[in-house]
Every structure is written in structure tokens, then in C-alpha cells.
Amino acid sequence: MNRTAIITGAGSPRGIGQGIAHALAAQGWNIAVLDIDEVSAKAVADAVAEAHGVSAVGAVCDVTDKAAVDAAVSTVESSLPEIGALVNNAGITSPVPFVEVSDEEWDRVFEVNVRGSYLMTKRVVDGMVSRGFGRIVNLSSVSAERGGGVFGGVAYSAAKAGLLGFSRALARELGPSGVTVNSVAPGLIDTDITAGKLDPERKAAMIADIPTRRAGQVSDVADVIAFLCRPESSYLTGVTYDINGGSHIH
């Protein structure tokens, strides 16, 4: 495969993004790691290249800034083969109760989760359409489907629900062009986002309510995304894969 996959927000060493980068590289994708932390992005890219023998670059990118998005994608285009996949993983959570949330906090959550995904997709989609191939995967959350109650509050749930509508409508529009658009909705996953921020009693109670009786691992999410990005997955579009151990069945 001589295509490149971009993963945003993939600089955290224990995050879902770096797991996605490794899973896609294992399938032969060249990898572009974008993160607001340039040092971390480059470190993950170097680790991916060394582990899988693919080409990988790390670049700084604030996904809420159109000029920054354009600059980062231009770097990828000049350094790696054609862009075939985009995983909009960059996101932030917010457990602030709605009655306490500030206008600034609400806007911040939507800026990163929704506007960031829009700007990245807008920047790469023309090339995908013109080449007749593309895989776009958006990171939603079980919170969007069950109405919070996991870690994020109303702002987070609303933003992640917005990504579901974005994905489904875009899938209809891009279907004739060979570009698929899908979502994944992770439940409780062991990452730096939740590490140390859930008290042990609450985490134990949450796990006791999960049929598989465990929190998810990064690989549980990354493997599904790698599956959706395969060329062979061309008949899957507009779908949402729930990755929650059965905690939310609908």
C-alpha cells in the first residue's frame, strides 16, 4: 500500500491516537501523526516508523486553526505518499455540569471536537474524491449515545453527538466518490484522559456494570479503526461502531 493515514491528536504516549497509528502502520499505511505538541508527535512518528518499517512524520497542528491545519497537511503532502485515510481523533473532554459550564468552556469543547474534525476533513477530502478513494473515521463517544454518564458532561456529549450527524450526512454525500465516512464510539478506555481522574470506587462500579467486566484498551479501539480503513471495507459507510464491552446496547 502506498498511501498515508493522518491521525490527529496522536501524540500522547498512552492515548488512543498512537494506538491507531501503530495499528494502521501494521497494515502497511504510511503514517502522519498530528498533535498540538510537536515533540510528542515526532516521538510517536519515530516509534511507529521503527516498529513497522513504514514512512512516518510527526507535525504540530492545532486542529481548531485553519491556517495550522493547512500547513500541517501541506507538510504531510510534501513528505509522504497520497493521503488515503483521516482519523479525527483529536478531542477534549469536559466533566463540568451544565449548570456550571461557562460559555468559554462550551465553545472550547466544540472547537476541538467538532470544528477540528470539520477543518481536517475539509482540507483532505477534495484529494480523496479526485483520486476515488478515501477512509474517514471520526471519534465519537458512548456519551453521545447514552446521554453522558461516563466521564464527559453535557458539552462533551453534545459535541460528540454532533460528530455522529456529521459522519452520517457526509457518508451519504461522499459515497459515490469512493470515500467512506464512519464513526467509532468508545466507552470506558484506559488512557491518560481517565487515568487518575476517576476515583477507584467509581471506576470499579463502572466496570461492574460492563458485561465484559473490564475497561477497554487502546488496542480495542485501534483495531476497529484499522478495519474500517482497509480498502476491503468499501461497503461500510455511515456506520457507528460501539466499542464499550456491552455497557451500552441498543
* Complete domains list, the chain, with CATH: 4-189+219-233 (3.40.50.720)
- Residue 250, pLDDT > 90, answer no
- Residue 220, pLDDT > 80, answer yes
Task: Compare 200 and 64 and report the one with higher pLDDT.
Answer: 64
Cell numbers for 223, please give them. 483495531
* Strand pairing category for 4-8 and 30-35: parallel
Annotated active-site residue 241? The verdict is no
Measured distance CA(141)–CA(156) in Å, rounded: 9
- Residue 193, pLDDT > 80, answer no
Measured distance CA(233)–CA(231) in Å, rounded: 5
Which pLDDT value is given to residue 95? 87
Which pLDDT value is given to residue 228? 98
Which residue in 118, 156, 235, 241 is the catalytic one? 156
Which pLDDT value is given to residue 207? 87
Which pLDDT value is given to residue 202? 76
Q: Model confidence at 48, in pLDDT bands (50, 70, 90)?
A: very high
Average pLDDT value for residue range 221-227: 98
Average pLDDT value for residue range 114-134: 98
Which pLDDT value is given to residue 58? 98
Question: Which residue's C-alpha cell is 484529494?
Answer: 127
Are 174 and 133 in contact by the 8 Å Cβ rule? The answer is no
- Residue 149, pLDDT > 70, answer no
* pTM exceeds 0.85, yes or no: yes
- Residue 194, pLDDT > 80, answer no
